[in-house]
Amino acid sequence: MCFTMKKFILFTAISVIFFCSLYAFGGSAAFSASVSRYAMVVTDGAKFYADASGKVERFIVDKSYFVSVVDTVGEFTRVVFMDSFDDCPSIEGYVKTVDVAFYDNVVSSPYPDVTLKAVTDVVLFSDSAATKPRAVISAGSTVRYFGVSAASSDDFYVYGNGSVGYVARNAFESFYLPLSAEYVAMQTPRETSDKSPSSITSASASQSVPADDRSPVEIVLITLAIIVVLIFVYLIVRPDKLSQKKAQTDDDY
């Protein structure tokens, strides 16, 4: 067998071994950068921004609730908010990474599930300065609550009458927003929480991924495939080495 063909076979075999090993023993982490996960807001006054520079503030995400993580951009994390409801659009933006903790478990209700009833007619503005009217919310109608305006605690950021924007807080009935069930569970006595591993990950671990769920059978099969490739390489390369050794022995006589 010519030297070029042997090099090709060896390169192919090594490539197969490499990618099989990567897949079997944790390589899935290298290909899971796009895996979706939630992050819990753990600070008071965490702002939701329209841009990655933090210049355009939209509203305050209530502590204990979640954002759906897209990726991390510098000191900010790009997220999606309110994407689990059929009666309002989701919104994409940014939060500061230090304001959230990444959460690895199933979340029962990630976003504030609050509809507000208007007690009087009110104008919905597309900007926090209330200079660009977008819609009118009639008395008795309801809007979907996103959060308190980042510019003023006197305004809410809501979805209503087909538009997302700012409305006066005093135009709606008062309401109580409880802490999320996941946050409450974190506040249980330490002796209880110590019995199970924490599902919260610090913000500095933003690049981590969920644990690999590959079955033992898959790992065994992939390992066997690697062994077969190694045997194949041995059978190709070893005869040439034996021939070379025999030739050298013949030359000695």
Q: Is 154 among the domain residues?
A: no
Give me the helix-helix angle, 3-24 and 216-251, nearest 10°: 150
What is the band of 33 on the pLDDT scale with cuts at 50, 70, 90? very low
CB 57 within 8 A of CB 150: yes
Beta partners for residue 165, in sequence order: 158
Q: Kindly state whether residue 41 falls inside one of the protein's structural domains.
A: yes
DSSP code of 118? B
Instruction: Indicate whether 56 belongs to any domain.
Output: yes
First-to-final CA distance of the chain: 27
- Whether 155 maps to a domain, the answer reads no
Element (H, E) at 59: strand 57-60
Q: 126 and 42 in one domain?
A: no
Same domain assignment for residues 79 and 46: yes
Q: Out of 23-27, 176-180, 239-243, pick the least confident.
A: 23-27
The helices-and-strands tally (H runs, E runs) of the chain is 4, 14
43 lies in a domain?
Answer: yes
Same domain, 101 and 184: yes
> Mean pLDDT score of the chain, rounded to an integer?
79
Q: What is the band of 238 on the pLDDT scale with cuts at 50, 70, 90?
A: low
Residue 86 included in any domain:
yes
Q: Are residues 230 and 198 in the same domain?
A: no
**This model's pTM is above 0.85:** no
Query: Same structural domain for residues 185 and 170?
Result: no
For residue 53, the enclosing domain spans: 36-111+177-208
105 with 138, same domain: the answer is: no
Q: How confident is the model at residue 190 (pLDDT cuts 50, 70, 90)?
A: low
Q: Does residue 15 belong to any structural domain of this protein?
A: yes
Segments of 74-162 assigned E as strands: 76-81, 91-96, 100-103, 115-117, 122-125, 133-137, 142-149, 155-160
Amino acid at 244: Q
CA-to-CA distance for 131 and 134, rounded, in angstroms? 10
Give the pLDDT confidence of 79-96 residue by residue, as tens digits. Answer: 999 999 999 999 999 999
Q: Are residues 171 and 66 in the same domain?
A: no
Average pLDDT over residues 95-119: 95
The answer on 100 and 182 residing in a single domain is: yes
Number of domains in the chain: 3
Tell whether the model's pLDDT for residue 124 goes beyond 80.
Answer: yes
Is the domain of 126 the same as that of 230?
no
Q: Averaged over 228-251, what is the pLDDT?
A: 58
Q: Average pLDDT in the 133-154 region?
A: 98
Residues 119 and 64 in one domain: no
Query: Has residue 11 got a pLDDT over 50?
Result: yes
Asked whether residue 156 is assigned to any structural domain, the reply reads: no
